[in-house]
Amino acid sequence: MKQFTSVHDVADVETLVKEALNLKSNPYSDKQLGENKTLGLVFLNPSLRTRLSTQKAAINLGMSVMVMNMDKDGWALETQDGVVMNGTTVEHIREAAAVMGQYCDILGLRSFPKLKDREEDYSEDFFNKFVSYCGVPVVSLESATRHPLQSLADLVTIKETWKGEAKPKVVLAWAPHVKALPQAVPNSFSEWMCKAQELGMVDFTIAQPEGFELHEGFTPGAKISHDIDEALAGADYVYVKNWSSYSSYGQVLPYPEGWMMNNEKLKLTNDAKVMHCLPVRRDLELSAEILDGPNSLVIHEAGNRLWAAQAVLKDLLQNLS
């Protein structure tokens, strides 16, 4: 790989998943690979799991890590071309990205959407400009529309835990929230599950109330339902997640009762494992009884973020020119 910004950057998804599981068994086997290589992690937004798991992955590979909290330790970046920079932005992304690329062999970037202008967010203007100007391979630490390190960890978790003969039924289930959240995690999860479905690894369904349909570019081949109970029937994995509306962009539309995942809902499934990318709002998105019970995979899944990141960084290191 030359970059890791979506599933489309991955030549062979199954091999990458296997690599992650291999690294979980042998975390330090590639420690020479990262010698004298530096990973720069650039955050424009808060981060816990991604911050720590990606650092640890780099350390396991023998890399050095430098963290740049651009939102706190740096300044506001300009992305528009052709503007006279006499306002509040201090540096253009053309310079900022290029400079960071001078000191790092690989860069990670987190940049959330503003949820105000759909076209702007979905153009991934900021992210793509960073990629194009920095001059080194970029790993997405979550962009406006995708979170591929999370999705890879999710697929790794399903692959690792599924012991059935047939392929598992995986349901992405919309859940309530008090804030308007990006579509990045569900877009990305759907994109990876659709790819996994294409490869015969899973059977994939998305359930959400009307008005919360994801952009169809992220859901090729997915079964789509507005009936949560129907969707959950026979599910082996339920991936719970809130997102704001794509069609009424960034809004929290009114939604019917019954979309919080709890033990009652669980009865409709095939004793499904329950997943969530975290952070999760207890008893709003997902019941505490599930989170603290035997069906929850959320901590295990978060643990796998490390091996997903390590597999990606290993691949990028091997392809450094």
Per CB under 8 A, residues contacting a second copy are: 27-28, 36, 38, 40, 43, 46-49, 51-53, 55-56, 59-60, 64, 66, 68-70, 72-75, 78, 81-87, 90-92, 94-96, 98-100, 102-104, 178, 278-284, 288, 291-292, 298-299, 302-303, 305-306
Amino acid at 87: G
Question: How far from 88 is each of 73, 77, 252, 280, CA to CA, in Å?
Answer: 16, 9, 30, 34
Amino acid at 52: L
Among residues 256, 269, 264, which one has the least CA distance to residue 290?
264
Could you tell me the smallest distance in angstroms from the CB atom of residue 99 to a second copy?
4
Is 50 annotated among the ligand-binding residues? yes
Structure tokens at 7: 């599933």
Is 205 annotated among the ligand-binding residues? no
Is 226 annotated among the ligand-binding residues? no
| Phi, psi values for residue 121, rounded to 5° | -60, -50
Could you tell me the smallest distance in angstroms from the CB atom of residue 260 to a second copy?
10
Among residues 321, 319, 308, 276, which one has the least CA distance to residue 140?
308
Is 149 annotated among the ligand-binding residues? yes
Question: CB-wise, 25 or 36, nearer to a second copy?
Answer: 36
Contact criterion met (CB below 8 Å) for 317 and 104: no
Among residues 249, 299, 250, which one has the least CA distance to residue 273?
299
Among residues 264, 244, 235, which one has the least CA distance to residue 172?
235
Could you tell me the smallest distance in angstroms from the CB atom of residue 252 to a second copy?
12
Question: CB-wise, 76 or 199, nearer to a second copy?
Answer: 76
Could you tell me the smallest distance in angstroms from the CB atom of residue 59 to a second copy?
5
Is 27 annotated among the ligand-binding residues? no
Question: CB-wise, 41 or 170, nearer to a second copy?
Answer: 41
Determine the Cα angle at 117 with ends 215 and 42, to 5°: 90
Is 148 annotated among the ligand-binding residues? yes
Is 161 annotated among the ligand-binding residues? no
Could you tell me the smallest distance in angstroms from the CB atom of residue 292 to a second copy?
7
Among residues 296, 262, 295, 292, which one has the least CA distance to residue 276?
296
Question: CB-wise, 119 or 179, nearer to a second copy?
Answer: 179
| Residue 48 CB neighbour total at 10 angstroms | 10
Is 264 annotated among the ligand-binding residues? no
Could you tell me the smallest distance in angstroms from the CB atom of residue 135 to a second copy?
9
Among residues 150, 154, 184, which one has the least CA distance to residue 171?
154
Specify the DSSP class assigned to residue 85.
-
Question: CB-wise, 21 or 59, nearer to a second copy?
Answer: 59
Question: CB-wise, 42 or 206, nearer to a second copy?
Answer: 42
Q: Enumerate the known binding-site residues for N(2)-succinyl-L-ornithine.
A: 142, 177, 241, 281
Q: Enumerate the known binding-site residues for carbamoyl phosphate.
A: 47-50, 75, 110, 147-150, 277-278, 305
